[in-house]
Amino acid sequence: MDYKKSVVYEIYPKSFCDTKGTGVGDLKGITSKLDYLQNLGVDYLWLCPFFVSPQVDNGYDVEDYYSIDPRYGTMEDFEELARKAEKRGIGLMLDMVFNHTSDRHIWFRKALKGDPYYKNFYIFKKGKEGGGAPTNWQSRFGGSAWEYVPEFDEYYLHLYAMQQPDLNWENPDVRAEVEKVVRFWMEKGVKGFRFDVINQVSKKAYEDDPDGDGTPMFTDGPRIHEFLKELNEQSFGRDPEIITVGEMAATKMESCFRYANPEEHELTMVFSFHHMRADFAGDQKWVLAPVDFMGFKKIMFSWQTKMAEHGSWNALFLDNHDQPRIVSRFGSEDEYWKESAKMLGTLYQLLRGTPFIYQGEELGMTNGDFKELSDYRDVESINNFHILTEKGLSPSDALRILQKHSRDNARTPMQWSSEKHAGFSQGEPWMKVNPNYERINAQAELLDEDSVFHYYRQLIQLRKQYEVVSDGDVRPLGLEDERVFAFERSLGEESLVVICNFYGRDYTWKGELDLSQYQILLSNYPEHEILDNAVWLKPFEAVVLYRKGEQDE
Ligand code: GLC
């Protein structure tokens, strides 16, 4: 399948569909929704980790890469899912977490017992002379990235939770184990892989970071390209059908030129996150800050144009399991909920790259309705609540920040119907269902031709029907415009123009193109006012215009 024409749908199994009444989603639940997914038109399902795990980080702490966590089902369930998906032309993409394992993984348990072979699978270091952790690096989830082990008088590194010790990729035996895991799942017929925080596996030097939390010391490190090439050669690169995406935390674009260039034989494409900081204060996530639209636009366009110049490929997304819901973030939850959900979909689905839809985004699902700390499940959010209150913030102010930035916003159970628990489970869901499920749910949207769901179906079809969407060049339009995100895609004489009003107010947009030659392919409003190069946009309006190439006429 051509990855340029493909659309990936991300599933967070825990919150997708529960068939057993345990309150936790399962693999059979995913199988039961394959018709829905086929109807939507997606080509791949990225499944977040379902391997055996103590679930400290909802499965991103893997205890056994070869077995399915019984909470989610059995290997037979997985094989059935793969088979039935394939029948519908849908491939499975697995989420491989290789920067770290769970502290319950047998390798780490042996390491802690002092087995030298397995100790070298992880990163143990002596503390500083005079005491304290080996470096000043901070865990992504708050606090020091080092945990002291009194038996060894040493610390081990964990860039994430304490229960997620980092693997030592410098050790060739670790890399060989990782490659073996990938080959195992390839044999099960898996068609793609997503590699979790893969650009952090090569560490530069175990030294203090004078300016911050250590990020430059372990991001896009000195051997990362070598490691990726080896992984490619020893595993997925052996099957040209397989597509891969690397999650690139705090990455540099120059590194991504290589990660995602076909000639480098590393990965098919990359996720970068700089555009997701548009409502941070600089690098600070745990604060309240307005959306910096111009900053967002600049970053998006710079990744679009520069990756294209280097022949490298982007993964496109606005929602995922680590991000609050985009419609709550950049759109509207009330008056223009539907219009803004459609506009945001238009914006990223038609850029140059492969789009990733996150479960529920195609319904316009909004942020969770969390009132108190006990409503939260996410280790990052809970840790940061404590950090904020220890710094002197009142619990209610800290909760306000969590309400905006917590990853749990995206992890509320999928809203299938207006039945109890949104049709997600017969039992008590592991996380609070958003009470707006009576209004926002798949059942209702399937029946409504004007729904966000049907709009997403149309967006996906545009990528399949128009080569200019999958293969065209990209050119920003009106870079300085403070209200509108607009761009042109072109292929030969063929041209597609996408104009998105980012705000809930009317606005007249003027561009340099003569739009009288164009026809309307898609829009989130039934009527339009377009004259030559001007468009009268309604709140959150999105318009997709198309002009055929002369040779096709
Ligand atoms: C990635 C995952 C996230 C997880 C982290 C640690 O960022 O997307 O959910 O917590 O890696 O594995």
- pLDDT tens digits, one per residue of 331-372: 999 999 999 999 999 999 999 999 999 999 999 999 999 999
pLDDT at 553: 45
Confidence of residue 549 (pLDDT cuts 50, 70, 90): confident
- What is the total residue count of the chain? 553
Confidence of residue 209 (pLDDT cuts 50, 70, 90): very high
Compute, in angstroms, the gap from residue 373 CA to the centroid of ligand 1.
21
Contact 407, 322 (CB under 8 A): yes
Whole-structure pTM value? 0.98
Confidence of residue 545 (pLDDT cuts 50, 70, 90): very high
The catalytic position among 247, 266, 378, 408 is 247
- Catalytic-residue membership of 309: no
- Catalytic-residue membership of 220: no
Compute, in angstroms, the gap from residue 529 CA to the centroid of ligand 1.
44
Q: Which residue has its alpha carbon closest to ligand 1 atom 5?
A: 60
Location of structure tokens 């916003």:
409
pLDDT digits (tens, 9 = 90+) for 86-145: 999 999 999 999 999 999 999 999 999 999 999 999 999 999 999 999 999 999 999 999
User: Amino acid identity, residue 203?
Assistant: K
Task: Name, in order, each residue with C-beta under 8 angstroms of 233's C-beta and a sequence gap of 6 or more.
Answer: 265
Task: Name, in order, each residue with C-beta under 8 angstroms of 117's C-beta and a sequence gap of 6 or more.
Answer: 110, 173
Confidence of residue 508 (pLDDT cuts 50, 70, 90): very high
Around 287, how many Cα atoms within 13 Å sit in the side-chain half-sphere?
13
The DSSP code sequence of 278-327 is TTSBTTB-SS-----HHHHHHHHHHHHHHHHHTT--BEE-S--TTS--HH
**Which H or E run includes 258?**
helix 253-259
**pLDDT at residue 551 tops 70:** no
From 11, 46, 55, 60, give the residue whose CB has the most ligand 1 atoms within 8 Å, as the site to mutate.
60
Name the average pLDDT for the chain: 97
SS3 category, 454: helix
**pLDDT at residue 550 tops 80:** no
Confidence of residue 212 (pLDDT cuts 50, 70, 90): confident
pLDDT digits (tens, 9 = 90+) for 230-283: 999 999 999 999 999 999 999 999 999 999 999 999 999 999 999 999 999 998
Location of structure tokens 């969590």:
402
pLDDT at 283: 87
Ligand 1 nearest-atom number relative to CA 161: 6
Separation of alpha carbons 303 and 318, rounded Å = 14
What is each CA distance from 103 to 55, 165, 176, 382, in whole angstroms? 11, 6, 20, 20
Mean pLDDT of 183-211: 97
Confidence of residue 312 (pLDDT cuts 50, 70, 90): very high
Task: Name, in order, each residue with C-beta under 8 angstroms of 122's C-beta and a sequence gap of 6 or more.
Answer: 107, 108, 111, 156, 157, 165, 166, 167, 168
Compute, in angstroms, the gap from residue 322 CA to the centroid of ligand 1.
7
pLDDT at 386: 98
Look at strands 124-125 and 146-149 and give their pairing. Answer: unpaired
Sheet holding 534-537, edge to edge: 507-510, 534-537, 529-531
Task: Name, in order, each residue with C-beta under 8 angstroms of 419's C-beta and a sequence gap of 6 or more.
Answer: none
- How does DSSP classify residue 14? G
Mean pLDDT of 22-36: 98
Contact 100, 147 (CB under 8 A): no
Going by C-alpha positions, the residue among 232, 242, 249, 157 that lies closest to residue 198 is 249
Compute, in angstroms, the gap from residue 21 CA to the centroid of ligand 1.
27
Location of structure tokens 């979790």:
196
- DSSP-based helix, strand, coil % in the chain, nearest 5: 35, 20, 45
How much of the chain, in percent, has pLDDT values that exceed 90? 98
**Residues near ligand 1 (Cβ within 6 A):** 57, 60, 97, 160, 196-197, 247, 321-322
Confidence of residue 412 (pLDDT cuts 50, 70, 90): very high
Separation of alpha carbons 63 and 51, rounded Å = 7
Q: Which residue has its alpha carbon closest to ligand 1 atom 12?
A: 60
